[in-house]
């Protein structure tokens, strides 16, 4: 499964109580105009779709860059998609994905979904440790939203589509998307690639798993990468997590590298790096 902490920013590790974190969210001071700009990463310094003519590649498993005509087609298709879906980045299998609204209740709900997915149960005082972990996830989310431009980080959330009467209108899935330029990843991309979209923190509510929510979240990440002008997406998964790796492979990701063997000597599980090139919108 992709990792929860994905940003280049250093998420604070101090454990806060839930009540204090929620108050911090309420007092964050975001204006309505800034929320609207954040919805799809609109800003004065928004990343432009860059045309690359070089066809050289550092990895045979990764395709080369889009042509100018292809990028124009992608940008036009992205705008059409957004108009058709009324602002949702993806709408498939009865689910739709949008950008997280920076409101206390919604941020708390998103943090709960991720905390449930990534919390490691303990034998004693598990409920207490879960509350601490959930508060830390919420504090990290607030930190990233406070310190990231709207076209550098996004928390995407999935909910039931309006035409699905059997599912409640609630956040059932979450994923983080961060603009990144890690040299370890860039060396596996074509030489002209300077940045990519890093996907992490994919989490689905326990009672809604195996219903294509994660697939829809990944499709939304594809669309976001197009809107932000990134040709490649990357994520990491545990090498022995075949369920997650199958999900990512079906979404178009390919394994391009693995953690060095010495990392397992430190008691850490081996991870694989998976990369995909952005698909054309339908």
Q: Which one is catalytic: 153, 198, 248, 253?
A: 248
- Averaged over 22-37, what is the pLDDT? 43
Q: Measure the CA–CA gap between 252 and 256, rounded to whole angstroms.
A: 13
CATH architecture of 18-28+66-277: 3-Layer(aba) Sandwich (3.40)
Please, which pLDDT band fits residue 263 given cuts at 50, 70 and 90?
A: confident
pLDDT of residue 39: 56
- pLDDT confidence bin for 191, thresholds 50/70/90: confident
CA distance 205 to 202: 10
Residue 86 region by backbone torsions, left for phi larger than 0, else alpha for psi between -120 and 50, else beta: left
Q: Where are the domains of the chain?
A: 18-28+66-277
Take residue 131 and report the two structure tokens written for it: 């509350």
Q: What are phi and psi of 203, to 5 degrees?
A: -140, 140
Residue 2 clears pLDDT 70, i.e. is over it: no
Which comes out higher in pLDDT, residue 217 or 102?
Answer: 217
pLDDT at 1 over 60: no
pTM over 0.95: no
Please report which confidence band the pLDDT of residue 85 belongs to, taking 50, 70 and 90 as the band edges. Answer: very low
pLDDT of res. 40? 54
Q: Are the CB atoms for 256 and 274 separated by under 8 Å?
A: yes
Based on the residue annotation, tell me whether 248 is a catalytic residue of this protein.
yes
In this model, does residue 212 exceed pLDDT 70?
yes
Q: Tell me the average pLDDT of the chain.
A: 77
Sign of CA dihedral 134, 136, 137, 138: positive
């Amino acid at each position: 499964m992709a990792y929860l902490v994905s940003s280049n920013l250093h998420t604070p590790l101090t454990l806060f109580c839930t009540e204090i974190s929620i108050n911090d969210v309420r007092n964050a001071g975001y204006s309505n105009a800034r929320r609207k700009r954040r919805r799809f990463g609109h800003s004065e310094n928004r990343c432009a779709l860059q045309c690359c003519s070089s066809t050289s590649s550092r990895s045979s498993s990764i395709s080369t860059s889009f042509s100018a005509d292809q990028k124009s087609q992608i940008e036009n298709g992205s705008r059409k998609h957004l108009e058709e879906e009324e602002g949702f980045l993806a709408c498939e299998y009865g689910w739709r994905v949008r950008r997280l609204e920076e409101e206390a209740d919604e941020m708390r709900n998103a943090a709960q979904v991720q905390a449930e997915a990534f919390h490691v149960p303990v034998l004693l005082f598990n409920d207490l440790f879960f509350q601490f972990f959930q508060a830390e996830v919420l504090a990290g989310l607030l930190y990233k939203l406070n310190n990231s431009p709207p076209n550098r980080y996004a928390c995407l959330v999935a909910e039931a589509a309006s035409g699905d009467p059997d599912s409640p209108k609630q956040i059932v899935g979450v994923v983080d998307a961060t603009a990144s330029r890690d040299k370890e990843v860039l060396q596996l991309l074509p030489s002209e690639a300077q940045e990519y979209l890093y996907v992490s923190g994919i989490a689905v509510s326990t009672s809604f798993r195996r219903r294509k929510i994660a697939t829809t979240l990944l499709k939304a990440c594809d669309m976001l990468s197009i809107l932000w002008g990134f040709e490649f997406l990357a994520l990491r998964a545990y090498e022995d997590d075949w369920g997650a790796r199958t999900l990512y492979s079906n979404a178009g990701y390919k394994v391009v590298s693995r953690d060095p063997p010495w990392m397992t000597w430190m008691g850490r599980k081996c991870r694989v790096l998976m990369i995909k090139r952005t698909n054309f919108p339908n």
